[in-house]
A = this chain, B = another copy of it.
Amino acid sequence: MTTGVRRRMGVEERRQQLIGVALELFSQRSPDDVSIDEIASAAGISRPLVYHYFPGKLSLYEAALKRASEDLAARFAEPQEGPLGNRLLRVMRRFFDFVDDHGPGFSALMRGGPAVGSSATNALVDSVRQAAYEQILSHLGVEDPPARLELVVRSWISLAESTALIWLDGRRIPRGELEAQLVHDFAALAAVSAAYDDEMAGLVREMALGEPADSPFTELATRLIALAS
| A172-190 Cβ-contact flags toward B at 8 Å (1 or 0) | 1100011011001100110
Which residues of B have CB within 8 Å of A205?
Answer: 227
Among B151, B170, B180, B184, contact of A163 (Cβ-Cβ < 8 Å)? B151
A interface residues, how many (CB within 8 angstroms): 49
Compute how far the CA of A201 lies from the CA of B224 in the bound complex, rounded to whole angstroms. Answer: 10
Which residues of B have CB within 8 Å of A207?
Answer: none
| A166 in contact with B189 given A147-B172, A195-B220, A227-B201 (CB within 8 Å) | no
| A110-148 Cβ-contact flags toward B at 8 Å (1 or 0) | 011110111100100000000000000000000000011
Among B155, B161, B162, contact of A166 (Cβ-Cβ < 8 Å)? B155
Least CB distance, A121 to chain B, in whole angstroms: 8
Oligomer copy total: 2
| A224 in contact with B191 given A112-B117, A173-B151, A181-B196 (CB within 8 Å) | yes
Q: Which positions in A face B, CB cutoff 8 Å?
A: 111-114, 116-119, 122, 147-148, 150-151, 154-155, 158-159, 161-163, 166-167, 170, 172-173, 177-178, 180-181, 184-185, 188-189, 191-196, 201, 204-205, 220-221, 223-225, 227-228
Q: 15 pairs across A/B with beta carbons < 8 Å?
A: A112-B112, A113-B119, A113-B122, A117-B117, A147-B172, A148-B173, A151-B166, A181-B192, A185-B189, A188-B191, A194-B227, A195-B223, A195-B227, A196-B223, A201-B227
Given contacts A158-B161, A158-B162, 19 further A-B contacts (CB under 8 A): A112-B117, A112-B122, A114-B119, A147-B170, A147-B172, A151-B163, A151-B173, A151-B178, A158-B159, A159-B162, A184-B195, A188-B192, A195-B224, A195-B227, A196-B223, A201-B227, A204-B227, A205-B227, A221-B228
